[in-house]
Chains A and B, each alone.
Chain A
Amino acid sequence: AQSVAQPEDQVNVAEGNPLTVKCTYSVSGNPYLFWYVQYPNRGLQFLLKYITGDNLVKGSYGFEAEFNKSQTSFHLKKPSALVSDSALYFCAVSRGGGYQKVTFGIGTKLQVIP
């Protein structure tokens, strides 16, 4: 079985401050980890993914995520938040090895305050 936990329903951050959206996962074997963003009335957009290698993954719109195997975490980060980053963020996991089924978390709403 594979699962994702996003412990915060909502994260509020002031514009210009660093942001972190938390994600922990459970999967057998080496995980494939993803972050997606959903803007209102839009589909999910891919931000970044971790497969193997460097634990710090850089993605779209200045976002990055840090893979921590010992803590089974894959937190999403950005050094300086923009109001336009306000959206719903989903973490997802798969057990890899060609397995295509991806399990999503329930999402975290990010609110960037001007």
Chain B
Amino acid sequence: GAGVSQSPRYKVTKRGQDVALRCDPISGHVSLYWYRQALGQGPEFLTYFNYEAQQDKSGLPNDRFSAERPEGSISTLTIQRTEQRDSAMYRCASSQGGGGAGVTDTQYFGPGTRLTVL
């Protein structure tokens, strides 16, 4: 597609429910990243993929958070048993290469999903 898309744009859920956030990267982009952005803060790294392989998940805050990218394109970030502290903007980005050329690629961001946990 022309840009990174995310769905839903807004999600309101009750504490204890599971949520799944979707990211559709720019077509052909190898790498896909998930960030969480709290109000007044910069994006905080959660995890990233090269193709379908999860390369780094060091930013996932606990085992309630998981992500997958089974076919190397669309990715889903799942939060189980949501808590109020999970409320934030969740951003997805993609980049062209997988770092194989020894460079850090430019990341292109989607519009984000605003999650509110009541």
Contacts and interface: CB of A to CB of B under 8 A. Distances in A.
B94 to A, nearest CB: 11
Interface residues of A, number: 27
Contact of B101 (A4, A45, A94, A98): A98
B109 A99 contact: no
A107 B103 contact: no
Nearest to A97: B102
Interface string A94-113: 11111111111111000000
Interface string B28-51: 000101010000111111001010
A98 B103 contact: yes
A105 B99 CA distance: 22
B40 A101 contact: no
B38 to A, nearest CB: 10
Given A49-B106, A100-B31, A106 B111 contact: no
Contacts of B106: 34, 46, 49
B104 A100 contact: yes
A46 B108 contact: yes
24 contacts: A4-B42, A32-B104, A44-B109, A46-B106, A46-B107, A49-B106, A51-B103, A94-B104, A97-B102, A98-B99, A99-B99, A100-B33, A100-B105, A101-B45, A101-B48, A101-B56, A102-B104, A103-B45, A104-B42, A104-B43, A104-B44, A105-B42, A106-B41, A107-B42
